[in-house]
Amino acid sequence: MSQEVPRINSYSRMKEIMTMYYGMAKMSEGSDTKIAWITSGGPVEILYAAGIIPIYPENHAAMCGATRIADELCVAAEDRGFSRDLCSYARTDFGSIYTKKSPVPGGLPKPDLLVCCNNICDTVTKWYQELQRIFNVPLIFIDAPYQYEEDRPEAIDYIQAQLEQMILDVGTIVGKPIDRETLYHTLELSEKAMDLWREIQGMLANKPAPMNSFDTFIHLGPIVTLRGTDICIEYYETLRAEIRQRVADGIASVPGERFRLGWDNLAIWFKIKELSEKFMAHRAALVVSTYPEGFCYRSKWHDPADKMRSMAGDYMGGYINHGLNYREKDLMRMVEKFSLDGFVMHSNRSCRAYSFGQYELAKRLMERHNIPTLMLEADMNDSRSWSDEQANTRIQAFIETLESRKS
Protein backbone atom coordinates (compact mmCIF):
# COMPACT_ATOMS: atom_id res chain seq x y z
CA MET A 1 0.00 0.00 0.00
CA SER A 2 1.28 3.44 -0.89
CA GLN A 3 -0.02 5.29 2.17
CA GLU A 4 2.49 5.35 5.01
CA VAL A 5 1.16 4.96 8.55
CA PRO A 6 2.74 7.29 11.16
CA ARG A 7 4.65 5.17 13.65
CA ILE A 8 3.64 5.02 17.30
CA ASN A 9 6.18 7.33 18.94
CA SER A 10 5.79 5.74 22.40
CA TYR A 11 7.65 2.70 21.09
CA SER A 12 10.96 4.57 21.47
CA ARG A 13 10.19 5.29 25.11
CA MET A 14 9.31 1.65 25.69
CA LYS A 15 12.68 0.56 24.29
CA GLU A 16 14.39 2.98 26.69
CA ILE A 17 12.41 1.66 29.65
CA MET A 18 13.06 -1.98 28.83
CA THR A 19 16.77 -1.35 28.20
CA MET A 20 17.00 0.40 31.56
CA TYR A 21 15.07 -2.42 33.24
CA TYR A 22 17.38 -5.15 31.99
CA GLY A 23 20.46 -3.00 32.57
CA MET A 24 19.57 -2.36 36.22
CA ALA A 25 18.80 -6.04 36.75
CA LYS A 26 22.14 -7.04 35.25
CA MET A 27 24.01 -4.52 37.42
CA SER A 28 22.27 -5.90 40.51
CA GLU A 29 23.57 -9.43 39.87
CA GLY A 30 25.66 -10.53 42.80
CA SER A 31 24.66 -7.55 44.97
CA ASP A 32 22.47 -7.45 48.08
CA THR A 33 19.44 -6.84 45.84
CA LYS A 34 17.85 -10.18 45.09
CA ILE A 35 16.65 -11.26 41.64
CA ALA A 36 13.72 -13.57 40.95
CA TRP A 37 12.84 -15.30 37.72
CA ILE A 38 9.05 -15.38 37.47
CA THR A 39 6.44 -16.59 35.00
CA SER A 40 4.50 -13.92 33.09
CA GLY A 41 1.30 -14.69 35.01
CA GLY A 42 3.00 -14.72 38.42
CA PRO A 43 2.19 -12.42 41.39
CA VAL A 44 4.97 -9.93 40.77
CA GLU A 45 3.56 -7.33 43.18
CA ILE A 46 4.80 -9.41 46.13
CA LEU A 47 8.33 -9.30 44.71
CA TYR A 48 8.30 -5.55 44.11
CA ALA A 49 6.95 -4.98 47.63
CA ALA A 50 9.91 -6.99 48.97
CA GLY A 51 12.47 -5.05 46.93
CA ILE A 52 13.21 -8.00 44.63
CA ILE A 53 13.88 -7.44 40.92
CA PRO A 54 11.68 -9.71 38.76
CA ILE A 55 12.95 -11.18 35.50
CA TYR A 56 10.69 -12.91 32.98
CA PRO A 57 12.21 -15.76 30.96
CA GLU A 58 9.11 -15.80 28.72
CA ASN A 59 9.58 -12.13 27.86
CA HIS A 60 13.26 -12.80 27.20
CA ALA A 61 12.40 -15.75 24.95
CA ALA A 62 9.98 -13.57 22.96
CA MET A 63 12.79 -11.06 22.47
CA CYS A 64 14.97 -13.88 21.17
CA GLY A 65 12.18 -14.85 18.77
CA ALA A 66 11.67 -11.31 17.52
CA THR A 67 15.43 -10.90 16.97
CA ARG A 68 15.53 -14.30 15.22
CA ILE A 69 18.10 -16.07 17.37
CA ALA A 70 15.55 -18.44 18.92
CA ASP A 71 16.13 -21.26 16.40
CA GLU A 72 19.82 -21.40 17.25
CA LEU A 73 19.06 -21.42 20.98
CA CYS A 74 16.39 -24.12 20.60
CA VAL A 75 18.89 -26.32 18.79
CA ALA A 76 21.42 -25.75 21.59
CA ALA A 77 18.84 -26.96 24.11
CA GLU A 78 17.96 -29.94 21.94
CA ASP A 79 21.64 -30.84 21.75
CA ARG A 80 21.54 -31.06 25.57
CA GLY A 81 18.72 -33.60 25.38
CA PHE A 82 15.59 -31.44 25.49
CA SER A 83 12.93 -32.68 23.08
CA ARG A 84 11.81 -30.50 20.20
CA ASP A 85 8.27 -31.22 21.38
CA LEU A 86 8.85 -29.05 24.44
CA CYS A 87 7.82 -25.38 24.61
CA SER A 88 10.04 -23.24 22.38
CA TYR A 89 10.16 -20.51 25.04
CA ALA A 90 11.66 -23.02 27.47
CA ARG A 91 14.08 -24.36 24.87
CA THR A 92 15.07 -20.82 23.91
CA ASP A 93 15.91 -19.90 27.47
CA PHE A 94 17.72 -23.15 28.21
CA GLY A 95 19.74 -22.57 25.05
CA SER A 96 20.55 -19.04 26.17
CA ILE A 97 21.72 -20.31 29.56
CA TYR A 98 24.03 -22.84 27.90
CA THR A 99 25.40 -20.63 25.10
CA LYS A 100 25.32 -17.23 26.90
CA LYS A 101 23.72 -15.76 23.77
CA SER A 102 20.93 -13.24 24.32
CA PRO A 103 19.52 -9.91 23.10
CA VAL A 104 20.37 -8.72 26.63
CA PRO A 105 24.11 -7.96 26.85
CA GLY A 106 25.67 -10.63 29.02
CA GLY A 107 22.44 -12.61 29.18
CA LEU A 108 19.89 -12.65 31.97
CA PRO A 109 21.21 -12.17 35.51
CA LYS A 110 21.21 -15.34 37.61
CA PRO A 111 18.21 -15.75 39.93
CA ASP A 112 18.24 -15.93 43.72
CA LEU A 113 14.65 -17.15 43.67
CA LEU A 114 12.16 -18.71 41.24
CA VAL A 115 8.41 -18.00 41.23
CA CYS A 116 6.14 -20.14 39.07
CA CYS A 117 2.39 -19.74 38.57
CA ASN A 118 0.54 -22.06 36.18
CA ASN A 119 -2.45 -19.80 35.48
CA ILE A 120 -1.60 -19.39 31.80
CA CYS A 121 0.58 -22.44 31.17
CA ASP A 122 1.16 -25.88 32.69
CA THR A 123 4.52 -26.32 30.96
CA VAL A 124 6.08 -23.78 33.32
CA THR A 125 5.83 -26.30 36.17
CA LYS A 126 8.49 -28.60 34.71
CA TRP A 127 10.37 -25.69 33.13
CA TYR A 128 10.92 -24.07 36.54
CA GLN A 129 11.77 -27.36 38.20
CA GLU A 130 14.59 -27.65 35.66
CA LEU A 131 15.65 -24.05 36.38
CA GLN A 132 15.78 -24.94 40.06
CA ARG A 133 18.11 -27.84 39.27
CA ILE A 134 20.32 -25.56 37.16
CA PHE A 135 20.58 -22.68 39.65
CA ASN A 136 19.95 -24.48 42.96
CA VAL A 137 17.74 -21.71 44.38
CA PRO A 138 14.34 -21.73 46.14
CA LEU A 139 11.23 -22.28 44.01
CA ILE A 140 7.82 -20.92 44.99
CA PHE A 141 4.91 -22.49 43.10
CA ILE A 142 1.41 -20.98 42.87
CA ASP A 143 -1.20 -23.42 41.60
CA ALA A 144 -4.18 -21.82 39.81
CA PRO A 145 -6.89 -24.49 39.26
CA TYR A 146 -8.37 -24.73 35.77
CA GLN A 147 -11.87 -23.23 35.63
CA TYR A 148 -14.34 -24.76 33.19
CA GLU A 149 -16.89 -21.96 33.51
CA GLU A 150 -16.79 -18.94 35.85
CA ASP A 151 -14.25 -18.72 38.68
CA ARG A 152 -15.30 -20.78 41.68
CA PRO A 153 -15.07 -19.16 45.14
CA GLU A 154 -13.27 -22.15 46.68
CA ALA A 155 -10.60 -21.86 43.97
CA ILE A 156 -10.09 -18.20 44.88
CA ASP A 157 -9.72 -19.22 48.54
CA TYR A 158 -7.09 -21.77 47.49
CA ILE A 159 -5.03 -19.22 45.57
CA GLN A 160 -5.33 -16.62 48.33
CA ALA A 161 -3.92 -19.07 50.87
CA GLN A 162 -0.94 -19.71 48.59
CA LEU A 163 -0.33 -15.97 48.12
CA GLU A 164 -0.33 -15.47 51.90
CA GLN A 165 2.24 -18.25 52.21
CA MET A 166 4.32 -16.70 49.42
CA ILE A 167 4.38 -13.41 51.34
CA LEU A 168 5.81 -15.24 54.36
CA ASP A 169 8.31 -17.22 52.26
CA VAL A 170 9.59 -14.18 50.38
CA GLY A 171 9.96 -12.30 53.66
CA THR A 172 12.11 -15.14 54.97
CA ILE A 173 14.25 -15.11 51.81
CA VAL A 174 14.93 -11.36 51.96
CA GLY A 175 15.41 -11.42 55.74
CA LYS A 176 12.51 -9.21 56.81
CA PRO A 177 8.69 -9.36 56.64
CA ILE A 178 6.95 -7.68 53.72
CA ASP A 179 5.23 -4.48 54.85
CA ARG A 180 1.51 -4.80 54.12
CA GLU A 181 1.03 -1.13 53.32
CA THR A 182 3.87 -1.32 50.80
CA LEU A 183 2.28 -4.39 49.24
CA TYR A 184 -1.16 -2.77 49.08
CA HIS A 185 0.33 0.33 47.45
CA THR A 186 2.05 -1.89 44.89
CA LEU A 187 -1.26 -3.62 44.20
CA GLU A 188 -2.91 -0.23 43.65
CA LEU A 189 -0.21 0.72 41.15
CA SER A 190 -0.68 -2.62 39.41
CA GLU A 191 -4.45 -2.14 39.17
CA LYS A 192 -4.01 1.35 37.73
CA ALA A 193 -1.59 0.04 35.09
CA MET A 194 -3.98 -2.77 34.16
CA ASP A 195 -6.85 -0.27 33.90
CA LEU A 196 -4.76 1.81 31.51
CA TRP A 197 -3.81 -1.24 29.43
CA ARG A 198 -7.46 -2.29 29.31
CA GLU A 199 -8.51 1.20 28.20
CA ILE A 200 -5.81 1.37 25.51
CA GLN A 201 -6.88 -1.94 24.02
CA GLY A 202 -10.51 -0.80 24.16
CA MET A 203 -9.62 2.14 21.93
CA LEU A 204 -9.08 -0.31 19.08
CA ALA A 205 -12.86 -0.64 18.90
CA ASN A 206 -12.72 2.74 17.18
CA LYS A 207 -13.22 2.73 13.39
CA PRO A 208 -10.65 2.91 11.94
CA ALA A 209 -8.48 1.26 14.60
CA PRO A 210 -5.63 3.61 15.68
CA MET A 211 -3.22 0.69 16.19
CA ASN A 212 -3.44 -3.08 15.72
CA SER A 213 -2.84 -6.29 17.62
CA PHE A 214 0.67 -6.62 16.27
CA ASP A 215 1.36 -3.30 18.04
CA THR A 216 -0.26 -4.46 21.28
CA PHE A 217 2.00 -7.53 21.31
CA ILE A 218 5.01 -5.20 21.19
CA HIS A 219 3.63 -2.81 23.84
CA LEU A 220 3.01 -5.70 26.27
CA GLY A 221 6.53 -5.38 27.69
CA PRO A 222 5.89 -2.98 30.59
CA ILE A 223 2.61 -4.56 31.77
CA VAL A 224 4.38 -7.91 32.00
CA THR A 225 7.70 -6.86 33.53
CA LEU A 226 6.92 -3.63 35.42
CA ARG A 227 3.40 -4.22 36.70
CA GLY A 228 3.16 -2.55 40.12
CA THR A 229 5.61 0.30 39.45
CA ASP A 230 5.20 4.01 38.79
CA ILE A 231 7.14 3.83 35.53
CA CYS A 232 4.65 1.30 34.15
CA ILE A 233 1.82 3.76 34.79
CA GLU A 234 3.82 6.61 33.29
CA TYR A 235 4.42 4.62 30.14
CA TYR A 236 0.80 3.62 29.56
CA GLU A 237 -0.45 7.13 30.32
CA THR A 238 1.87 8.33 27.56
CA LEU A 239 0.72 5.61 25.18
CA ARG A 240 -2.94 6.29 25.98
CA ALA A 241 -2.52 9.98 25.22
CA GLU A 242 -0.88 9.15 21.89
CA ILE A 243 -3.58 6.66 20.89
CA ARG A 244 -6.29 9.15 21.87
CA GLN A 245 -4.66 11.70 19.59
CA ARG A 246 -4.49 9.20 16.75
CA VAL A 247 -8.23 8.59 17.16
CA ALA A 248 -8.89 12.34 17.14
CA ASP A 249 -6.73 12.78 14.03
CA GLY A 250 -8.38 9.83 12.25
CA ILE A 251 -5.09 7.94 11.92
CA ALA A 252 -5.68 4.32 10.92
CA SER A 253 -3.23 1.53 11.67
CA VAL A 254 -4.40 0.06 8.36
CA PRO A 255 -5.19 2.74 5.77
CA GLY A 256 -8.50 2.09 4.05
CA GLU A 257 -9.47 -0.43 6.75
CA ARG A 258 -11.90 -2.91 5.21
CA PHE A 259 -11.83 -5.95 7.50
CA ARG A 260 -11.60 -6.08 11.28
CA LEU A 261 -10.16 -9.26 12.77
CA GLY A 262 -9.32 -10.83 16.12
CA TRP A 263 -6.18 -12.84 16.90
CA ASP A 264 -6.15 -15.87 19.19
CA ASN A 265 -2.97 -17.15 20.87
CA LEU A 266 0.55 -15.77 21.16
CA ALA A 267 2.30 -13.80 18.44
CA ILE A 268 4.45 -15.56 15.85
CA TRP A 269 7.44 -13.49 16.87
CA PHE A 270 9.76 -14.23 13.96
CA LYS A 271 7.00 -13.30 11.46
CA ILE A 272 5.30 -10.43 13.25
CA LYS A 273 6.44 -7.74 10.82
CA GLU A 274 5.72 -9.78 7.70
CA LEU A 275 2.26 -10.80 8.90
CA SER A 276 1.44 -7.22 9.81
CA GLU A 277 2.37 -6.09 6.31
CA LYS A 278 0.51 -8.98 4.67
CA PHE A 279 -2.77 -8.26 6.45
CA MET A 280 -2.31 -4.55 5.85
CA ALA A 281 -1.96 -5.21 2.13
CA HIS A 282 -5.42 -6.78 2.26
CA ARG A 283 -6.73 -3.81 4.30
CA ALA A 284 -7.35 -6.17 7.22
CA ALA A 285 -6.80 -4.73 10.70
CA LEU A 286 -6.14 -7.04 13.64
CA VAL A 287 -7.92 -5.05 16.35
CA VAL A 288 -8.03 -7.35 19.38
CA SER A 289 -6.06 -10.34 20.68
CA THR A 290 -6.85 -12.77 23.47
CA TYR A 291 -3.24 -12.77 24.74
CA PRO A 292 -2.65 -9.04 25.47
CA GLU A 293 -6.11 -8.92 27.07
CA GLY A 294 -4.95 -11.64 29.46
CA PHE A 295 -2.69 -9.16 31.25
CA CYS A 296 -5.61 -7.06 32.46
CA TYR A 297 -7.95 -9.86 33.55
CA ARG A 298 -10.30 -8.82 36.32
CA SER A 299 -12.14 -11.51 38.25
CA LYS A 300 -15.80 -11.07 39.13
CA TRP A 301 -14.61 -11.43 42.74
CA HIS A 302 -12.59 -8.23 42.48
CA ASP A 303 -13.29 -5.97 45.48
CA PRO A 304 -11.16 -2.85 46.15
CA ALA A 305 -11.89 -3.25 49.87
CA ASP A 306 -10.36 -6.73 49.96
CA LYS A 307 -7.03 -6.48 48.21
CA MET A 308 -5.74 -10.00 48.85
CA ARG A 309 -8.91 -11.73 47.68
CA SER A 310 -9.02 -9.43 44.64
CA MET A 311 -5.42 -10.30 43.88
CA ALA A 312 -6.20 -14.00 44.20
CA GLY A 313 -9.16 -13.66 41.82
CA ASP A 314 -7.21 -11.71 39.24
CA TYR A 315 -4.37 -14.25 39.34
CA MET A 316 -6.78 -17.07 38.55
CA GLY A 317 -6.02 -16.14 34.96
CA GLY A 318 -8.51 -15.25 32.27
CA TYR A 319 -9.09 -16.73 28.85
CA ILE A 320 -6.31 -19.34 28.87
CA ASN A 321 -7.22 -20.86 32.24
CA HIS A 322 -10.88 -21.41 31.35
CA GLY A 323 -12.85 -24.00 29.38
CA LEU A 324 -14.25 -23.87 25.85
CA ASN A 325 -17.67 -22.49 26.78
CA TYR A 326 -16.03 -19.58 28.58
CA ARG A 327 -13.67 -19.00 25.65
CA GLU A 328 -16.51 -19.06 23.14
CA LYS A 329 -18.38 -16.40 25.12
CA ASP A 330 -15.24 -14.29 25.41
CA LEU A 331 -14.54 -14.49 21.67
CA MET A 332 -18.12 -13.43 20.92
CA ARG A 333 -17.75 -10.53 23.35
CA MET A 334 -14.78 -9.42 21.27
CA VAL A 335 -16.76 -9.87 18.03
CA GLU A 336 -19.46 -7.55 19.30
CA LYS A 337 -17.25 -4.98 21.01
CA PHE A 338 -14.72 -4.67 18.20
CA SER A 339 -17.09 -5.29 15.25
CA LEU A 340 -15.07 -8.24 14.00
CA ASP A 341 -15.48 -9.84 10.58
CA GLY A 342 -13.48 -12.93 11.56
CA PHE A 343 -10.77 -14.49 13.71
CA VAL A 344 -7.18 -15.51 13.01
CA MET A 345 -6.22 -18.46 15.19
CA HIS A 346 -2.58 -19.33 15.72
CA SER A 347 -2.50 -23.09 16.34
CA ASN A 348 0.67 -22.88 18.36
CA ARG A 349 2.80 -26.04 18.40
CA SER A 350 4.51 -24.91 21.61
CA CYS A 351 1.49 -23.76 23.60
CA ARG A 352 -0.85 -26.71 23.91
CA ALA A 353 -2.84 -25.22 26.80
CA TYR A 354 -3.68 -22.24 24.60
CA SER A 355 -4.17 -24.15 21.36
CA PHE A 356 -6.26 -26.98 22.81
CA GLY A 357 -9.81 -26.77 21.49
CA GLN A 358 -9.13 -24.13 18.83
CA TYR A 359 -10.55 -26.26 16.01
CA GLU A 360 -13.69 -26.82 18.08
CA LEU A 361 -13.90 -23.08 18.79
CA ALA A 362 -13.49 -22.32 15.09
CA LYS A 363 -16.31 -24.73 14.32
CA ARG A 364 -18.54 -23.12 16.95
CA LEU A 365 -17.80 -19.61 15.70
CA MET A 366 -18.83 -20.58 12.19
CA GLU A 367 -21.79 -22.86 12.89
CA ARG A 368 -23.32 -20.96 15.81
CA HIS A 369 -22.35 -17.37 15.02
CA ASN A 370 -21.43 -17.30 11.32
CA ILE A 371 -17.94 -15.96 12.09
CA PRO A 372 -15.22 -17.27 9.73
CA THR A 373 -11.78 -18.21 11.05
CA LEU A 374 -8.29 -18.62 9.63
CA MET A 375 -6.10 -21.28 11.25
CA LEU A 376 -2.35 -20.65 11.03
CA GLU A 377 -0.27 -23.63 12.17
CA ALA A 378 3.03 -22.40 13.54
CA ASP A 379 5.11 -21.89 16.67
CA MET A 380 5.64 -18.66 18.58
CA ASN A 381 9.45 -18.91 18.48
CA ASP A 382 10.64 -21.87 16.42
CA SER A 383 10.57 -20.94 12.72
CA ARG A 384 11.21 -24.56 11.72
CA SER A 385 7.47 -25.15 12.19
CA TRP A 386 6.50 -22.39 9.74
CA SER A 387 5.63 -22.66 6.06
CA ASP A 388 5.32 -19.45 4.02
CA GLU A 389 3.57 -21.29 1.22
CA GLN A 390 0.94 -22.86 3.45
CA ALA A 391 0.33 -19.61 5.35
CA ASN A 392 0.03 -17.52 2.18
CA THR A 393 -2.46 -19.97 0.67
CA ARG A 394 -4.63 -19.97 3.80
CA ILE A 395 -4.53 -16.20 4.23
CA GLN A 396 -5.53 -15.67 0.59
CA ALA A 397 -8.44 -18.10 0.88
CA PHE A 398 -9.58 -16.44 4.12
CA ILE A 399 -9.48 -12.97 2.57
CA GLU A 400 -11.50 -14.24 -0.38
CA THR A 401 -14.11 -15.52 2.08
CA LEU A 402 -14.26 -12.12 3.75
CA GLU A 403 -14.46 -10.39 0.35
CA SER A 404 -17.40 -12.57 -0.68
CA ARG A 405 -19.25 -11.55 2.48
CA LYS A 406 -18.70 -7.86 1.76
CA SER A 407 -19.91 -8.03 -1.82
pLDDT at residue number 5: 81
Q: Note whether residue 10 is domain-resident.
A: no
Containing structural domain, residue 188: 20-406
pTM for the model: 0.94
pLDDT at residue number 50: 98
Low-confidence ranges of the chain (pLDDT < 50): 1-2
Q: Note whether residue 3 is domain-resident.
A: no
pLDDT at residue number 301: 81
Q: Note whether residue 42 is domain-resident.
A: yes
Radius of gyration of the chain (CA): 21
- Number of domains present in the structure of the chain: 1
DSSP code for 38:
E
pLDDT at residue number 1: 42
Q: Note whether residue 350 is domain-resident.
A: yes
Cβ contacts of residue 366 below 8 Å, gap of 6+?
Answer: 372, 373
Q: Note whether residue 189 is domain-resident.
A: yes
Q: Note whether residue 122 is domain-resident.
A: yes
Q: Hey, which bits of 148-278 come out as E strands?
A: 259-264
Cis peptide before 208 (omega within 30 of 0): yes
At 158, which CATH number? 3.40.50.11900
**C-beta neighbour count of 207 within 10 angstroms:** 13
**C-beta neighbour count of 273 within 10 angstroms:** 11
pLDDT at residue number 3: 63
Q: Note whether residue 1 is domain-resident.
A: no
Q: Note whether residue 5 is domain-resident.
A: no
